[in-house]
């Protein structure tokens, strides 16, 4: 009888009590999952001296004075979402300084973080139309080679499905496009200088960039650090790629060549551009015929010893380097003395 009474005590929980416990446990699990940090990667590359570092500094809310990027630089940003189970988001930001001999450097961000949450910002110098296609072609070739090297055909097709979703499954031009497997935003920099160029040149540049952005499934914006409105759109776009917010950085689309372009993913079409369906090779050939292109620019003057650049100070490494330099000088002096002694003999 005592055993029966104890069983009655254990079963006093009502169905409502059990439901409350289950919901509470589920909320705990969801909070635990939400609090785990998520990561995305944004790779910024393109024309030299176009303002890549400035854009990144604004995105990361840094006041650093931009200095020339020698090779490949890494930085990151963190953002904590508001609300219950505040989720920590991390954005890995890579910047390529020069396109010259850069194939191995372009692989690094993809090899380090994979392609699942990868996106790219391609910045082109609008003030130099005679280098625009050369720089763009170099970037696209490098990204294609790195993607093919570090992703299986199955993964690429799976990611391209996400690109199709992004531009719209019902888009009338879908079957004519050469879609990239990850989000790309083409940013035309130095718009403040470009807007003073000849109208015909701007028309050719506009048609070229709209055509290549459309065929790649990319978005396209113009940018100048000297214009708050276009600078904000570029920063919002980078925030969208890096953290997912705002959900749509494009408040309105702009297709007019006489004003800053702002074309969201999937918003353009061959009919709207005013050209027949084409591919990247023909786009490049047509543009190069209209505006002859200069060869890829040199990486510029590299310091004799980049390790002595004050922007790359590392105390422990610098101390070891100094110690090794002293040891080397000692060996050189000793060798010099020995050689003089042998000559005298």
279-293 pLDDT tens trace = 999 999 999 999 999
Residues 62 and 123 in one domain: yes
Residues 77 and 187 in one domain: yes
Is residue 135 situated within a structural domain?
yes
For residue 227, the enclosing domain spans 35-290
- Out of 254, 274, 290, pick the residue that ends a domain: 290
Q: Which band of pLDDT confidence, cut at 50, 70 and 90, is reported for residue 19?
A: low
Read off the tokens for 326: 């002293």
Average pLDDT in the 106-119 region? Answer: 91
Residues 138 and 66 in one domain: yes
Torsion angle (degrees, nearest 10) of CA 259, 261, 262, 264: 150
Read off the tokens for 245: 């917010």
Residues 255 and 326 in one domain: no
Residues 175 and 318 in one domain: no
Which residue do the tokens 């570092």 mark? 53
Note the pLDDT of residue 134: 96
Is residue 302 situated within a structural domain?
no
Q: How far apart are CA 165 and CA 159, in angstroms?
A: 10
- CB atoms inside a 10 Å sphere around CB 321: 13
Q: How far apart are CA 142 and CA 128, in angstroms?
A: 21
Q: How far apart are CA 241 and CA 243, in angstroms?
A: 6
Residues 129 and 191 in one domain: yes
Residues 273 and 337 in one domain: no
Note the pLDDT of residue 221: 97
Residues 333 and 207 in one domain: no
Average pLDDT in the 138-143 region? Answer: 95
For position 118, which CATH number holds? 3.40.50.300
What pTM, to 2 d.p., does this model score?
0.76
Is residue 7 situated within a structural domain?
no
Is residue 16 situated within a structural domain?
no
Strand 88-96 relative to strand 219-222: parallel, antiparallel, unpaired? unpaired
Q: In Å, how far from its chain's centre is CA 199?
A: 30
Is residue 300 situated within a structural domain?
no
Residues 327 and 252 in one domain: no
Residues 318 and 282 in one domain: no
Is residue 8 situated within a structural domain?
no
The total number of structural domains that make up the chain: 2
Note the pLDDT of residue 36: 53
Q: Which band of pLDDT confidence, cut at 50, 70 and 90, is reported for residue 93?
A: very high
Is residue 104 situated within a structural domain?
yes
Is residue 252 situated within a structural domain?
yes
Residues 96 and 245 in one domain: yes
Q: What is the pLDDT of residues 205-230, one digit of tens each?
A: 999 999 999 999 999 999 998 888 88
Residues 218 and 170 in one domain: yes
């Amino acid at each position: 009888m005592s055993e029966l009474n104890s069983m009655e005590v254990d079963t006093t929980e009502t169905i409502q009590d059990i439901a409350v416990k289950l919901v509470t446990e589920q909320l705990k699990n969801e909070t635990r999952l939400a609090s785990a940090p998520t990561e995305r990667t944004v790779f910024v590359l393109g024309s030299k001296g176009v303002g890549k570092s400035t854009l990144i500094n604004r995105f990361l809310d840094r006041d650093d004075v931009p200095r020339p990027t020698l090779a490949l630089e890494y930085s990151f940003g963190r953002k904590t979402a508001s609300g219950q189970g505040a989720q920590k988001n991390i954005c890995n930001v890579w910047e390529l300084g020069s396109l010259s001999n850069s194939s191995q450097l372009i692989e690094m961000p993809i090899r380090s973080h994979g392609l699942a949450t990868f996106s790219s910002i391609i910045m082109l110098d609008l003030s130099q139309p005679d280098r625009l296609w050369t720089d763009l072609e170099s970037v696209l070739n490098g990204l294609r080679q790195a993607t093919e090297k570090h992703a299986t055909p199955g993964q690429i097709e799976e990611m391209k499905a996400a690109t199709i979703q992004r531009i719209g499954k019902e888009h009338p031009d879908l079957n004519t496009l050469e879609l990239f497997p990850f989000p790309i935003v083409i940013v035309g920099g130095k718009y403040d200088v470009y807007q003073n160029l000849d109208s015909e040149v701007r028309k050719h540049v506009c048609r070229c960039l709209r055509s290549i952005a459309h065929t790649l499934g990319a978005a396209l914006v113009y940018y100048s650090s000297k214009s708050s409105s276009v600078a904000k759109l570029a920063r919002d776009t980078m925030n969208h790629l890096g953290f997912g917010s705002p959900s749509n950085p494009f408040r309105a689309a702009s297709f007019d060549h006489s004003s800053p372009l702002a074309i969201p993913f999937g918003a353009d079409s061959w009919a709207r551009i005013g050209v027949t369906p084409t591919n990247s090779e023909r786009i490049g050939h047509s543009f190069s015929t209209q505006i002859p292109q200069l060869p890829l620019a040199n990486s510029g003057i590299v310091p004799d010893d980049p390790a002595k650049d004050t922007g790359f100070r590392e105390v422990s490494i610098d101390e070891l380097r100094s110690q090794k330099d002293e040891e080397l000088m000692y060996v050189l002096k000793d060798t010099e003395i020995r050689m003089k002694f042998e000559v005298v003999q």
